[in-house]
């Protein structure tokens, strides 16, 4: 329910946006009512954009404390209804990734973790720029419905334990407005504003535990490791102030995760993993198990991380995870047979190009950002929110960093529906791949854990 907050200050005087701008401009601390006023004003359009923009710039120049960030987060979340699963007697847990290339982990993770008897209401977004989006990947299954009314999300969580859906228009509407203004005023990079933006949507989702996957590297939102760590620390401490159980994994995104980049082929990879094919994409498999195990621990479902890992591996080998995935497809309007015969339903685009090694050596490095950009050129992603996605377009990496190659070995197959797109994608992908004489050092997927 929308909570209507008082728009009066403590002394009964009507609150004015100009006073809040001045207060922040002078580096003073704002209280809960004041943040409520700003968030409601943003959601309801009751103050002009120039005042909200000035306020955001003041917040950029005088960063909010953790407590202020939590207050702003809560205020933003309360500008729309909050999903309520309090009558469901299970821990409720979700994860949020700051986004990357080939990061289709959520697709396998949500049904897998739900097998352990925890509720997973997983709200995701669409791809933009070089990063992919879970909703687009889900929609590579024909008729899979991601626009689900709150009542039906609740029912599905109660009966099945998992539902994967898109952000509704009324969920934390203040964020949509404030994000658009930040984008236009050079204030996106403010860490407290990023934290409030991310967490307002997660807080509104009604979970009690949240795992953050904060990536670093060329394909990540935060490219530098120290910046990712600082963001993760603030996300975790703010989430805790909001009463959520939270921890963050700092994970590698200098190179793409797994073998698939695109929508139908990331879905194909997911299904193969859920079928128990550990060797197809070992880094992707590891990401799913590690993320899932931490989710089980923070939700209180399992104390011991190693037992949690074993539990999840067991749900894959005994077929429960694939069964849960199949049922989820059915609940959400898709054809559950996709889970059994993915190659029949998840088709690659009709044109393809084999990218081959031009010399003997090792695959030294495949740049994540350039690979993601190549994916967009092929048609697998979008530069503007209104652009159409070609579900069959994308890249399959036959070789990954560390693999030995001979001249002429196929490193990747690229797919597109249009010859110009195929050409553009192939040219850019060529810049992403480095063949080296020496074998590169292996990298760690999970760099550290912030609790
Ligand atoms: N993702 C969000 O949802 N908000 C931000 O501000 C940045 C990344």
201 is catalytic: yes
pLDDT, tens digit, for every residue of 126-168?
Answer: 999 999 999 999 999 999 999 999 999 999 999 999 999 998 8
Is a pLDDT exceeding 50 seen at residue 5?
no
Question: Of 252, 273, 292, 268, nearest to 401 (Cα)?
Answer: 252
Question: CA 354, CA 439: separation in Å to the nearest integer?
Answer: 23
Is a pLDDT exceeding 90 seen at residue 353?
yes
- Non-local (6+) Cβ contacts of 85 within 8 A are 92, 119, 121, 154, 157, 206, 207
Q: Please report which confidence band the pLDDT of residue 10 belongs to, taking 50, 70 and 90 as the band edges.
A: very low
Q: Please report which confidence band the pLDDT of residue 1 belongs to, taking 50, 70 and 90 as the band edges.
A: very low
Q: Please report which confidence band the pLDDT of residue 7 belongs to, taking 50, 70 and 90 as the band edges.
A: low
Read off the pTM: 0.95
- Residue 181 CA to ligand 1 centre (angstroms): 12
Pocket test for ligand 1, best of 96, 188, 198 (most atoms within 8 A of CB): 198
Backbone φ, ψ for residue 82 (5° rounding): -105, 135
Q: Of the ranges 163-177, 366-380, 408-422, 435-449, which one carries the lowest mean pLDDT score? A: 163-177
Q: What is the sign, positive or negative, of the torsion defined by CA atoms of 151, 152, 155, 157?
A: negative
* Residue 407 and residue 358 in contact, taking contact as beta carbons nearer than 8 Å: yes
- Residue 199 CA to ligand 1 centre (angstroms): 9
* Residue 130 and residue 218 in contact, taking contact as beta carbons nearer than 8 Å: no
Q: Whose CA is nearest to atom 3 of ligand 1?
A: 198
Q: Please report which confidence band the pLDDT of residue 6 belongs to, taking 50, 70 and 90 as the band edges.
A: very low
398 is catalytic: no
Give me the chain's average pLDDT, please. 95
DSSP-derived secondary structure letter, 30 = P
Q: What angle do CA 189, 192, 193 make, to 5 degrees?
A: 60
Backbone φ, ψ for residue 273 (5° rounding): -65, -45
Is a pLDDT exceeding 80 seen at residue 27?
yes
DSSP-derived secondary structure letter, 128 = B
pLDDT, tens digit, for every residue of 388-416?
Answer: 999 999 999 999 999 999 999 999 999 99
pLDDT of residue 13: 64
182 is catalytic: yes
pLDDT, tens digit, for every residue of 254-268?
Answer: 999 999 999 999 999
Q: Whose CA is nearest to atom 8 of ligand 1?
A: 194
Q: Is 155 left (phi over 0), alpha (psi -120 to 50) or beta?
A: alpha
pLDDT, tens digit, for every residue of 274-304?
Answer: 999 999 999 999 999 999 999 999 999 999 9
Question: Of 359, 358, 369, 357, nearest to 400 (Cα)?
Answer: 357
Is a pLDDT exceeding 90 seen at residue 367?
yes
Average pLDDT over residues 116-127: 95
């Amino acid at each position: 329910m929308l909570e209507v907050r008082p728009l009066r200050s403590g002394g009964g005087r009507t609150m004015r946006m100009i006073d809040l701008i001045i207060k922040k401009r002078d580096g003073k601390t704002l209280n809960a009512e004041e943040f409520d006023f700003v968030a409601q004003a943003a959601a309801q359009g009751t103050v002009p954009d120039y005042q909200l923009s000035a306020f955001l710039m003041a917040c950029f120049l005088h960063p909010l404390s953790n407590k202020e960030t939590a207050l702003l987060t809560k205020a933003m979340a309360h500008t729309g209804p909050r999903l309520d699963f309090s009558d469901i007697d299970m821990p409720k847990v979700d994860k949020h990734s700051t986004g990357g290339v080939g990061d289709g982990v959520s697709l396998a993770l949500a049904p897998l973790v739900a097998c352990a008897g925890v509720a997973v209401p997983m709200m995701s977004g669409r791809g933009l720029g070089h990063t992919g989006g879970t909703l687009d990947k889900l929609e590579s299954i024909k008729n899979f419905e991601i626009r689900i009314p709150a009542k039906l999300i609740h029912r599905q969580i109660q009966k099945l334990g998992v539902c994967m859906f898109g952000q509704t228009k009324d969920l934390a509407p203040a964020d949509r407005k404030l994000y658009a203004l930040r984008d236009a005023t050079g204030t996106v990079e403010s860490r407290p504003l990023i934290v409030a933006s991310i967490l307002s949507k997660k807080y509104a989702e009604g979970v009690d535990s949240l795992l953050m996957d904060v990536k670093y590297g060329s394909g990540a939102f935060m490219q530098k490791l120290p910046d990712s760590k600082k963001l993760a620390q603030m996300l975790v401490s703010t989430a805790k102030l909001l009463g959520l159980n939270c921890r963050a994994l700092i994970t590698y995104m200098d190179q793409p995760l797994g073998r698939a980049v695109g929508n139908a082929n990331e879905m194909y990879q997911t299904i193969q993993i859920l079928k128990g094919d550990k060797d197809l994409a070992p880094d992707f498999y590891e990401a799913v198990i590690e993320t899932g195990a931490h989710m089980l621990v923070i939700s209180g479902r399992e104390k011991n991380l190693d037992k949690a890992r074993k539990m999840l591996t067991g749900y894959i080998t005994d077929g429960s995870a694939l069964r849960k995935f199949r049922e989820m497809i059915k609940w959400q309007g898709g054809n559950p047979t996709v889970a059994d015969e993915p190659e029949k339903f998840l088709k690659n685009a009709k044109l393809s190009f084999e990218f081959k090694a031009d010399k003997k050596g090792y695959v030294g490095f495949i740049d994540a950002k350039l690979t993601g950009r190549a994916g967009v050129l092929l048609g697998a992603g979008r530069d503007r929110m209104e652009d159409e996605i070609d579900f069959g377009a994308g890249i399959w990496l036959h070789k990954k960093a560390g693999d030995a190659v001979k001249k002429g070995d196929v490193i990747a197959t690229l797919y597109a529906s249009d010859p110009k797109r195929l050409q553009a994608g192939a040219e850019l992908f060529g810049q992403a791949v480095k063949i080296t004489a020496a074998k590169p050092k292996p990298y760690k997927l999970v760099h550290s854990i912030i609790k």
